[in-house]
Amino acid sequence: MASPSDQTAKIIDGKAIAHTIRSEIAEEVRSLSEKHGKVPGLAVVIVGDRKDSQTYVSMKRKACAEVGIKSFDVGLPEEISEADLISKVHELNSNPDVHGILVQLPLPKHINEENVLGAISIDKDVDGFHPLNIGKLAMKGREPLFLPCTPKGCLELLARSGIKIKGQQAVVDPEAIIREADIVIAACGQAHMIKGNWIKPGAAVIDVGTNAVSDPSKKSGYRLVGDVDYTEASKVAGFITPVPGGVGPMTVAMLLRNTVDGAKRVFGQ
């Protein structure tokens, strides 16, 4: 990282902002419980035993517990058929205690992700991946029920940091739109690292990338970095997110936010 004397960019602390948002959500959940006798419910469906997926699901389960959201964990075997998986999704669609459904990606190769995501009720599509939500997001004058969590988190980071984007120029690496179209919608590319001299002085840099690089000093043997050369970029940018501790915590916070918003629609608020 850049030394304090070299760094000009203000750090956008995603971890701190996400903590504030979680506190706000916890208060909303308490209010909903007192008023309606129910709390929002989030179902997370995981197929197989990929360690990275298990880690993500565990993190989401912990986040739900912290804010009072009821967590429904659905673990299914790797060999489950697409039809049986979709049947489980329909079952969750019909469960009145579930206000959000997330199917952890990637799915096994024998399952068509598009078919599974399309089977989730649009009213419970808290990942924002349903074709109707994505379609409305792409159309002028239309409002999707849910925004995908990562880009929504990026916008929230900017807003809570006092950075106005209306009328500004935004640069997005097109390689990432191809690579991560569903999950990120807009991000930086993984195949190369964005250098400081690529950045306009004073720009706000939101780094969505997560890459593991070898680091013998770490117990795990690796450390996480983004898609931006943080040391160089922080000398040029006006604002910058670190990795880790930038966008990642916001993605989970926005998942909780979407789940509560889905519940509030059901509760008539």
* Contact criterion met (CB below 8 Å) for 99 and 71: no
Catalytic residue among 7, 70, 88, 104: 104
171: confidence class by pLDDT, cuts 50, 70, 90: confident
Confidence tier at 173 by pLDDT (50, 70, 90): low
Report the residue count for the chain: 269
Question: Rounded mean pLDDT of 164-181?
Answer: 68
Alpha-carbon Rg for the chain in angstroms: 19
Tokens at 135, concatenated: 């379609």
Residues 226-252 pLDDT 10s: 889 999 999 999 999 999 999 999 999
For 109-149, write each residue's pLDDT tens digit: 999 999 999 999 999 999 999 999 999 998 989 999 999 99
Question: Which of 50-59, 67-76, 149-158 bottoms out in mean pLDDT, i.e. has the lowest?
Answer: 50-59
Which entry of 60, 70, 152, 235 is annotated as an active-site residue? 60
Which of 127, 207, 227, 261 is flagged as catalytic? 127
Selection from 173, 193, 194, 195 nearest residue 184 by Cα: 173
> Is residue 127 flagged as an active site residue?
yes
- Mean pLDDT within 34-52: 94
| Catalytic residue check, 60 | yes
**Does 10 qualify as catalytic in the annotation?**
no
pLDDT tens per residue, range 190-213: 445 788 999 999 999 999 988 888
